[in-house]
């Protein structure tokens, strides 16, 4: 029994280390390409709460389970308690009803809190006014098998490389003329379906110059994995002076 108890506590320690490690809390989707923008910040905050609450609840449950295993462990000459359930008989209530109410209220409060946070996140995703930068700048995004087409307000187009200024509210109107695709920039926590002959809208506002991978997250054909691109964030002055052909 001692060996099993040690193993259980070892498992609890491993779960605790995994859930509360810096890597788990710092990057909810385990991306090593860097993150930027208010979407990534808010998304990781929400996921941090999910991880924190889930980790605490898991530790409490496993700790209670381990304690019950120890308390009610079998020993030589032990007998069943008087109120032990018996085959063919409806068992009587065991334990204190107050604990049942406490656990019920606690679970309800946790779920309502997470639900409120999730709804707030959805509302944030639907309101570009929440951004802090200039704009908005609206870009038409059209998915093709197997490349991305970006059309800017002045009529210019780029392919696979979306080039926009930092500190600007960028609205993306995403569509496609062939099959379903999904436009995703994991580093910014952006992901939206590209549906034939339908326009879906998403926005972002990012402060850091750099390149961030774009992927198609919907299986769209034999060359689906090759349907990639880059979000290139540049200084406003660079964008206003014209897009370098090397980027386009």
Looking up residue 183, the CATH number of its domain turns out to be: 2.60.40.420
Q: Which domain holds residue 231?
A: 134-240
Question: Is the preceding omega at residue 151 within 30 degrees of 0, hence cis?
Answer: no
Let me know if residue 53 belongs to a domain: yes
Model pLDDT for residues 128-170, shown as the tens digit of each residue: 877 777 878 999 999 999 999 999 998 999 999 999 999 999 9
pLDDT greater than 60 at residue 18: no
Q: Are residues 233 and 198 in the same domain?
A: yes
- Residues 179, 227, single domain; the answer is yes
106 and 7 fall within a common domain:
yes
**What DSSP assignment string belongs to 97-132?**
HHHHHHHHHHHHHHHHHHHHHHHHHHHHHT-GGG--
Beta-ladder partners of 158:
150
Is 153 within the bounds of a domain? yes
Q: Looking at the structure, tell me whether residues 141 and 63 fall in a common domain.
A: no
64 domain residue, yes or no: yes
- Please tell me the least confidently modeled range out of 13-22, 48-57, 184-193: 13-22
Identify whether 222 is part of a domain: yes
Look at residue 92 and tell me if it is in a domain: no
Asked if the structure places residue 200 within a domain, the reply is yes
What's this model's pTM, rounded to 2 decimal places?
Answer: 0.70
Question: Are both 16 and 116 inside the same structural domain?
Answer: yes
Task: Tell me, yes or no, whether 118 and 211 share the same domain.
Answer: no
Indicate if the pLDDT at residue 202 is higher than 80. yes
DSSP 144: E
Q: What is the pLDDT of residue 180?
A: 96
CA-to-CA distance for 88 and 90, rounded, in angstroms? 7
Give the pLDDT mean for 77-94. Answer: 75
One domain for residues 233 and 179:
yes
Whether 175 contacts 199, CB under 8 Å: yes
How far is CA 119 from its chain centroid? 14
């Amino acid at each position: 029994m001692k060996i099993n108890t040690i193993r259980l506590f070892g498992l609890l320690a491993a779960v605790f280390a995994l859930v509360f490690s810096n890597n788990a809390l710092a990057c909810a989707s385990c991306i090593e390409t860097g993150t930027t923008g208010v979407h990534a910040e808010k998304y990781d905050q929400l996921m941090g709460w999910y991880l924190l609450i889930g980790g605490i609840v898991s530790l409490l449950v496993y700790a209670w389970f381990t304690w019950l295993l120890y308390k009610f462990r079998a020993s030589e000459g032990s007998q069943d308690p008087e109120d032990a359930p018996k085959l063919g008989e409806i068992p009587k209530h065991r334990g204190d009803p107050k604990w049942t109410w406490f656990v019920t209220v606690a679970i309800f409060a946790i779920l309502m809190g997470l639900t409120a946070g999730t709804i707030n996140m959805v509302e944030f995703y639907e309101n570009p006014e929440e951004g802090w930068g200039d704009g908005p700048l609206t870009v038409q995004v059209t998915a093709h098998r197997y490349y991305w087409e970006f059309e800017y307000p002045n009529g210019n187009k780029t392919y696979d490389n979306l080039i926009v200024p930092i500190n600007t509210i960028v609205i993306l109107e995403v569509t496609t003329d062939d099959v379903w695709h999904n436009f995703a920039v994991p580093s910014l926590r952006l992901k939206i379906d590209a549906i034939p002959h339908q326009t879906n809208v998403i926005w972002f506002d990012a402060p850091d110059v750099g390149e961030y991978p774009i992927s198609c997250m919907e299986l769209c054909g034999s060359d689906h994995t090759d349907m990639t691109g880059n979000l290139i964030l540049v200084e406003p002055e660079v964008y206003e002076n014209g897009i370098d052909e090397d980027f386009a």
